[in-house]
Amino acid sequence: MNLTLKIWRQKDSNAKGQMVDYKVTDISEHMSFLEMMDVLNEQLVNTGEEPVAFDHDCREGICGMCSMYINGEAHGPDRGITTCQLHMRMFNDGDTITIEPFRAAAFPVIKDLVVDRMAFERIQQAGGYISVNTSGNTQDANSIPISKHAADEAMDAATCIGCGACVATCKNSSAMLFVGAKVSQYALLPQGQVEAADRVKNMVAQMDLEGFGNCTNTGACEIECPKGISLDNIARMNRELMKANIS
Amino acid sequence: MALDSKVPKGPIKDKWTDYKNHIDLVNPANKRHIDVIVVGTGLAGGSAAATLAELGYNVKAFAYQDSPRRAHSIAAQGGINAAKNYQGDGDSTYRLFYDTVKGGDYRSREANVHRLAEVSANIIDQCVAQGVPFARDYGGLLDNRSFGGVLVSRTFYAKGQTGQQLLLGAYSAMNRQIARGKIEMFNRHEMLDVVKVDGKARGIITRNLITGEIERHSAHAVVIATGGYGNVYFLSTNAMGSNATAAWKIHKKGAYFANPCYTQIHPTCIPRSGDYQSKLTLMSESLRNDGRIWVPAKIEDAQAIQQGKLKPTDLAEEDRDYYLERRYPAFGNLVPRDVASRAAKERCDAGFGVNATGEAVYLDFAAAIERYGKEQAKIQNIDNPSEEKIYELGQAIVEAKYGNLFQMYEKIVDENPYETPMMIYPATHYTMGGVWVDYNLMTTVEGLYCIGEANFSDHGANRLGASALMQGLADGYFVLPYTIGDYLSDDIRTGKIPTDTKEFEEAEKEVKDRIDFFINNKGTKSVDHFHKRLGKVMWDKVGMARNEKGLKEAMAEIKAIREEFWKEVKVPGSANEMNPELEKAGRVADFLELGELFAKDALVREESCGGHFREESVELDGPQKGEAKRNDKDFAFVSAWEYKGEPADAVLHKEELEFNDIELKQRSYK
Ligand SMILES: Cc1cc2nc3c(=O)[nH]c(=O)nc-3n(C[C@H](O)[C@H](O)[C@H](O)COP(=O)(O)OP(=O)(O)OC[C@H]3O[C@@H](n4cnc5c(N)ncnc54)[C@H](O)[C@@H]3O)c2cc1C
Ligand code: SF4
Ligand code: FES
């Protein structure tokens, strides 16, 4: 198929950006979206233009690097996937596709479609861990049984890949789904209990400091999240925060 | 220089304990005067950085992604081995040790492997304490699965996302130390050279991938944990950015490179669909626990399928060739990876492939769905269940076990694997070869360490499933923190290593000159153009089956591509900005050298062992006819290559392998 691409180009974080039109031809429906971008970039290199910078690495939906806002949706039109898992069979010959970076005040653009997600790092550093040193004589892994249900739920929360689609999708640029998922993982496990109160307080404080918006329960994040992280995680985080503030 | 593996004396089961009892320690107050650089923050580097910081060293850690959480370890699906014997099925440290040495086709160092098996159980304890949500059974205890090539269930897993969860564990431990200021994390930084002062590794040169700035970083020791070099094939299951640059740069500065030809071609990947293909996707090996692999028994059926005239589900049971079950009745679909991959290639080369390219075989879950369905019907006391009911019950079980993998497959291939068998084909997946290290995980350069997939150490000529995660975390959490302390105990009075010296200046200049060359070269072809050509030579001539003629051709062809690359490569943009094409150019330049050494290593090793299959070295008759033939008399050594300029001029050093605790046998999975 033949396509018109409207792509956000921005030289660096200080430059002003703009949308630029490109044409690509002979795109196979079996290509992934990023392979289509590779075709465009190869074309640009060959004509001596600078290729479009975009983040990507694993190309199988797990590293959380890729981060495009395609036709007004984080990770594009399909559900339950990242940009790298989007396939061209979702588009039709002759389509015009708009491609922008994830936008949020807390995610400044670095170049073209690449954004700075260091705010997520700092939130994790504020409390996204259990304080246990590596020693080689930690107690046996089976000494505390954990119900299968709790373990499975913790796992579901832990599958968040830190991509930031929830933030890019939210009209308030809220990071509640991301933070809620991490808080939940630990809240559901016995190992996470000791530091639970401090963890949630510190992570939420850092989140607010980074300039993410408030959650107004619109639920768009859950729909666009490639890993199906549920809104229940936000509710659990709110409960945890309440508990922490009381105690 | 003679290779000294520094393996401690004494019985194998006591070596590590004795070693730990006798090494020099650095007292806690002195650790804060010592800096350690860790390049790479996947499972190996991440766990090492966190542990070294916990001990009190000042750690500087580097990764090319925007967060340690995105290292390629995140992609590991299947699981991690540990000799816990929770299932009571006869597992033990010795058995894990034995399986790993046997699985590696007797080409690994016994003492290292034994140590790995010893610390394996600690890894699981540590990860659970960190909050890693491993799968559990209904009693709340940890669940296990079995993996290819072994007869016990010792693999721990977290859905199909084990690597992700383990990495997030190490990442959380790092975050705690970043918050305490004990780790300084440099994301989006690429190491482009190592700096040696008086023969010791004392720093690195990096490029800030956002600004393009070239930076100098110093430390008392440098740890390389930058992963494998599978991307030398262009197409592999590795991440797009996975590269050999750090490993290759230290090789050029004196670190020997060991067994480059030992590569693992994984049997269960999604087949290639076209020339635009940028990478290949692995389907976890755990699928082979329940899936049956087959191709049509008759060539006319295979051809009809290739032309789209026949569907796999149309073929009757007797018209299918379950070739692994046929050839290897004892292990069936669970033979080790190298065996399964070659068997698939053999059938496809003979014309029995099942997609348009002829390079695919089926992985079929119909039998598993039926088996689980009947089992469930019994459990749920359903008398005389209908076929539909059995299917429904069975499908639910298969979905619970492999749902996310099936979904991934469907997204990529656009076919429903519950209804029609999956198609799979082998792809480059893992590199057992890597930087040579001694028992201390130190390279042939003093103070320069190498851990994780980047080193050559524990897997011999073939790695068993779920053992790479184990090795990465063993190296980082439990081995390096001891061995590096022994070395650093001499450095407590050294003081900070200055970076305004001629050694740093020279290394920096070399790096800058190369970048300037790329930016200013008036070439005509993109970096990918050369990378794809290299990949094709590697796959065709240095892939699953190798022979003398092909390997000689490969060496010449790779050299020619390399020479053309340095004339014709075109890199747009400038040096002082984010420039992904420039990053790729540097990486491909290194692959173009490594690829030739790889072929040379394969040429010298005139035996078949593990993932390295020489067509000239097969059993000619007997029950093992046609199977790979190892030659212990002449080749029971590690090839460690010393850099001498052109890859073809590299000098071979041999570390003879001694097997005192395991008897060398032919691997038989019949
Ligand atoms: C798809 C897939 C599935 C797998 N499944 C399993 C499994 O189920 N079980 C198992 O045991 N093994 C599995 N493996 C293998 C295993 O995942 C890897 O061998 C292992 O994770 C490697 O870890 P590492 O820490 O050595 O390197 P990596 O995780 O690759 O990390 C490399 C690090 O180095 C950094 N880096 C690289 N180059 C540079 C540079 N020049 N400068 C600065 N930083 C650099 C990167 O940023 C990254 O942080 C799988 C592999 C793949 C590809
Ligand atoms: S919650 Fe979902 S959308 Fe948000 S960062 Fe995690 S995976 Fe991405
Ligand atoms: S590139 Fe890793 S999730 Fe898309």
pLDDT > 70 fraction of chain B, expressed in percent and rounded: 100
Say if the Cβ atoms of B133 and A151 lie within 8 Å. Answer: yes
Atom of ligand 1 nearest to the CA of A60: 1
CA distances from A147 to A152, A237, B46 (A): 9, 21, 29
Say if the Cβ atoms of B70 and A64 lie within 8 Å. Answer: yes
Query: Which of B75, B74, B93 is closest to B83 using CA atoms?
Result: B93
Say if the Cβ atoms of B65 and A57 lie within 8 Å. Answer: yes
Q: Could you tell me if B314 and B423 lie in one domain?
A: yes
> Chain A contacts of B47, Cβ < 8 Å?
134
Orientation of helix A148-158 relative to helix B162-179, angle to 10°: 70
Computed over its alpha carbons, how large is the radius of gyration of chain A? 20
User: Does residue A151 belong to the interface with chain B, where contact is any CB pair within 8 Å?
Assistant: yes
Please tell me whether residue B650 adopts helix, strand or coil conformation.
Answer: coil
Q: Which residue segment(s) compose the domain that B574 sits in?
A: 507-632
Please say whether the beta carbons of A129 and A185 come within 8 A. no
Mutate to test the pocket of ligand 2, among A155, A163, A207 (most ligand atoms within 8 A of CB): A163
Give me the torsion for CA of B529, B531, B537, B540, rounded to 10°: -100
Please say whether the beta carbons of A180 and A237 come within 8 A. yes
User: Residues B394-404: pLDDT tens digits?
Assistant: 999 999 888 88
CA distances from B130 to A93, B44, B640, B649 (A): 49, 16, 38, 48
Please tell me whether residue A164 adopts helix, strand or coil conformation.
Answer: coil
Chain A nearest-CA residue for B281? A60
Say if the Cβ atoms of A58 and B74 lie within 8 Å. Answer: yes
Average pLDDT over residues A197-212: 98
Say if the Cβ atoms of A49 and B124 lie within 8 Å. Answer: no
Q: Is residue B131 part of a domain?
A: no
Nearest CB to A42: which of B139, B412, B528?
B528
User: Residue B148: which pLDDT band, with cuts at 50, 70 and 90?
Assistant: low
Take residue B409 and report the two structure tokens written for it: 């497959």
User: Does residue A139 belong to the interface with chain B, where contact is any CB pair within 8 Å?
Assistant: yes
Q: For chain B, how far is it from start to end, CA to CA, in angstroms?
A: 43
Q: Which helix (H) or strand (E) holds B548?
A: helix B548-568
Per-residue b or e along A135-147, where b marks 16 or more CB atoms closer than 10 Å to that residue's CB: eeebeebbeeebe
SS3 helix, strand, coil % of chain A, rounded to 5? 40, 15, 50
Q: Is residue B219 part of a domain?
A: no
Indicate if the pLDDT at residue B274 is higher than 90.
Answer: no
Three-state SS annotation for B242-297 = CCCHHHHHHHHCCCCEECCCCEEEEEEECCCCCCCCCCCCECCHHHHHCCEEEEEC
Please tell me whether residue B418 adopts helix, strand or coil conformation.
Answer: coil
Indicate if the pLDDT at residue B358 is higher than 80.
Answer: yes
Q: Measured between alpha carbons, how far is B458 from B474 in angstroms, rounded to an integer?
A: 11
What is the tally of structural domains in chain B?
Answer: 2
Residue B659, number of CB atoms within 10 A of its CB: 14
Q: Is residue B368 part of a domain?
A: yes
Report B:266-305 residues touching A (Cβ under 8 A).
273-274, 276-279, 281-282
Say if the Cβ atoms of B75 and A34 lie within 8 Å. Answer: no
Orientation of helix A148-158 relative to helix A176-187, angle to 10°: 150
User: Residues A109-152: pLDDT tens digits?
Assistant: 999 999 999 999 999 999 999 999 998 889 999 999 999 999 99
Instruction: Check pocket membership of B363 for ligand 1, CB cut-off 6 A.
Output: no
At B455, the amino acid letter reads N
Average pLDDT over residues B255-260: 98
User: Does residue B137 belong to the interface with chain A, where contact is any CB pair within 8 Å?
Assistant: yes
Chain A nearest-CA residue for B570? A45
Q: B479: which DSSP letter?
A: I
User: Does residue A145 belong to the interface with chain B, where contact is any CB pair within 8 Å?
Assistant: yes
Please tell me whether residue B24 adopts helix, strand or coil conformation.
Answer: coil
Instruction: Check pocket membership of A178 for ligand 2, CB cut-off 6 A.
Output: yes
Average pLDDT over residues B315-322: 96
B14: Cβ contacts below 8 Å, ≥ 6 apart:
none
User: Residue B599: which pLDDT band, with cuts at 50, 70 and 90?
Assistant: very high
Q: Could you tell me if B525 and B405 lie in one domain?
A: no
CA-based nearest distance B482→chain A, Å: 11
Indicate if the pLDDT at residue A172 is higher than 80.
Answer: yes
Q: Last residue of some domain: B428, B443, B470?
A: B428
User: Residues B620-657: pLDDT tens digits?
Assistant: 988 888 889 999 999 999 999 999 999 999 999 999 99
By alpha-carbon position, which residue is closest to atom 37 of ligand 1?
A: B226
Instruction: Check pocket membership of B186 for ligand 1, CB cut-off 6 A.
Output: no
Q: Could you tell me if B424 and B531 lie in one domain?
A: no
User: Which of A134, A137, A179 should one mutate to test binding to chain B, selecting the residue with the greatest count of B CBs within 10 A?
Assistant: A134
Nearest CB to A133: which of B54, B528, B580?
B54
Q: Measured between alpha carbons, how far is A80 from B400 in angstroms, rounded to an integer?
A: 17
Atom of ligand 3 nearest to the CA of A83: 4
Computed over its alpha carbons, how large is the radius of gyration of chain B? 25
Q: Could you tell me if B518 and B412 lie in one domain?
A: no
Q: Measured between alpha carbons, how far is B83 from B95 in angstroms, rounded to an integer?
A: 8
Q: Tell me how far the alpha carbon of residue A219 lies from the centroid of ligand 2, in angstroms.
A: 13
Say if the Cβ atoms of B69 and A64 lie within 8 Å. Answer: yes
By alpha-carbon position, which residue is closest to atom 1 of ligand 2?
A: A178
Residue B661, number of CB atoms within 10 A of its CB: 16
Indicate if the pLDDT at residue B405 is higher than 90.
Answer: no
User: Residue B171: which pLDDT band, with cuts at 50, 70 and 90?
Assistant: very high
Indicate if the pLDDT at residue A21 is higher than 90.
Answer: yes
How many residues does the structure list for chain A? 247
Take residue B570 and report the two structure tokens written for it: 């075109």
Take residue B650 and report the two structure tokens written for it: 């590299």
Q: Tell me how far the alpha carbon of residue A48 lies from the centroid of ligand 2, in angstroms.
A: 36
Please say whether the beta carbons of B424 and B405 come within 8 A. no
Tell me the average pLDDT of chain B.
96
At B514, the amino acid letter reads R
What is residue B665's predicted lDDT score, i.e. its pLDDT? 85
Average pLDDT over residues B102-109: 94
Q: Is residue B531 part of a domain?
A: yes
Please say whether the beta carbons of B58 and B34 come within 8 A. yes
Atom of ligand 1 nearest to the CA of B239: 53
Q: Measured between alpha carbons, how far is B97 from B15 in angstroms, rounded to an integer?
A: 14
Q: Measured between alpha carbons, how far is B668 from B670 in angstroms, rounded to an integer?
A: 6
Query: Which of B467, B458, B471 is closest to B432 using CA atoms?
Result: B458
Take residue B35 and report the two structure tokens written for it: 């800096």
A:B CB pairs within 8 Å: 214
User: Residues B322-347: pLDDT tens digits?
Assistant: 999 999 998 899 888 888 999 999 99
Mind listing the domains of chain A with CATH numbers? 3-111 (3.10.20.30), 117-246 (1.10.1060.10)
Q: Could you tell me if B514 and B606 lie in one domain?
A: yes
> Chain B contacts of A62, Cβ < 8 Å?
74-75, 161, 164
ipTM: 0.98
Q: Could you tell me if B281 and B421 lie in one domain?
A: yes
User: Does residue A205 belong to the interface with chain B, where contact is any CB pair within 8 Å?
Assistant: no
Q: Last residue of some domain: B387, B404, B428?
A: B428
- Pocket lined around ligand 3, Cβ cut-off 6 Å: A 56-59, 61-66, 82-84
Query: Which of A223, A224, A208 is closest to A175 using CA atoms?
Result: A208
Mutate to test the pocket of ligand 1, among B73, B206, B224, B405 (most ligand atoms within 8 A of CB): B73
Active site annotation includes B32: no
Q: Could you tell me if B417 and B529 lie in one domain?
A: no
Take residue A243 and report the two structure tokens written for it: 């508990």
- The residue from B70, B109, B202, B337 that is catalytic is B337
User: Residues B459-516: pLDDT tens digits?
Assistant: 999 999 899 999 999 999 999 999 999 999 999 999 999 999 999 999 999 999 999 9
Indicate if the pLDDT at residue B143 is higher than 80.
Answer: yes
User: Which of B31, B84, B125 should one mutate to test binding to chain A, selecting the residue with the greatest count of A CBs within 10 A?
Assistant: B125
Instruction: Check pocket membership of B79 for ligand 1, CB cut-off 6 A.
Output: yes
Average pLDDT over residues B528-536: 97
Indicate if the pLDDT at residue A218 is higher than 70.
Answer: yes
Report the phi/psi class of residue A215: left, alpha or beta, with left for phi > 0 and alpha for psi in -120 to 50.
beta
Determine how β-strand B448-450 pairs with β-strand B221-224: parallel
What is residue B149's predicted lDDT score, i.e. its pLDDT? 65
Q: Measured between alpha carbons, how far is B285 from A63 in angstroms, rounded to an integer?
A: 20
**CATH at B608:** 1.20.58.100
Q: Measured between alpha carbons, how far is B628 from B59 in angstroms, rounded to an integer?
A: 45
Average pLDDT over residues A154-163: 98
Q: Is residue B313 part of a domain?
A: yes
Indicate if the pLDDT at residue A177 is higher than 70.
Answer: yes
Q: Measured between alpha carbons, how far is A122 from A126 in angstroms, rounded to an integer?
A: 6
Q: Measured between alpha carbons, how far is B325 from B229 in angstroms, rounded to an integer?
A: 32
Q: Is residue B527 part of a domain?
A: yes
Q: Measured between alpha carbons, how far is A190 from B366 in angstroms, rounded to an integer?
A: 39
Please say whether the beta carbons of A10 and A111 come within 8 A. yes
Report B:374-433 residues touching A (Cβ under 8 A).
407-408, 411-412, 414
Q: B474: which DSSP letter?
A: I
Q: Could you tell me if B416 and B522 lie in one domain?
A: no
Instruction: Check pocket membership of A66 for ligand 2, CB cut-off 6 A.
Output: no
Take residue B590 and report the two structure tokens written for it: 């290194």
What is residue B564's predicted lDDT score, i.e. its pLDDT? 98
Q: Which helix (H) or strand (E) holds B166?
A: helix B162-179
Per-residue b or e along B441-452, where b marks 16 or more CB atoms closer than 10 Å to that residue's CB: bbbbbebbbbbb
Looking only at Cα atoms, what is the longest distance across chain B?
A: 83
Say if the Cβ atoms of B130 and A191 lie within 8 Å. Answer: yes
User: Does residue B624 belong to the interface with chain A, where contact is any CB pair within 8 Å?
Assistant: no
User: Does residue A30 belong to the interface with chain B, where contact is any CB pair within 8 Å?
Assistant: yes
Indicate if the pLDDT at residue B272 is higher than 80.
Answer: yes
User: Does residue B173 belong to the interface with chain A, where contact is any CB pair within 8 Å?
Assistant: yes
Say if the Cβ atoms of A159 and B128 lie within 8 Å. Answer: no
Within B333-439, residue ranges assigned H as helices are: 337-349, 366-379, 387-413
Burial (CB count <10 Å: 0-12, 13-18, 19+), residue B547: middle
Indicate if the pLDDT at residue B64 is higher than 80.
Answer: yes
Q: Measured between alpha carbons, how far is B421 from B424 in angstroms, rounded to an integer?
A: 10
Q: Measured between alpha carbons, how far is B159 from B141 in angstroms, rounded to an integer?
A: 15
What is residue B145's predicted lDDT score, i.e. its pLDDT? 87
* Cα-based angle B272, B274, B279 (whole degrees, multiple of 5): 50
What is residue B407's predicted lDDT score, i.e. its pLDDT? 87
Q: Last residue of some domain: B412, B428, B444?
A: B428
Say if the Cβ atoms of B54 and A56 lie within 8 Å. Answer: no
Say if the Cβ atoms of B138 and A148 lie within 8 Å. Answer: yes
Report the phi/psi class of residue B437: left, alpha or beta, with left for phi > 0 and alpha for psi in -120 to 50.
beta
Indicate if the pLDDT at residue B1 is higher than 70.
Answer: no
Determine how β-strand B361-364 pairs with β-strand B292-296: antiparallel
Please say whether the beta carbons of B497 and B216 come within 8 A. no
> Chain B contacts of A161, Cβ < 8 Å?
74, 164
Please tell me whether residue B36 adopts helix, strand or coil conformation.
Answer: strand
Sign of CA dihedral B406, B412, B416, B422: negative
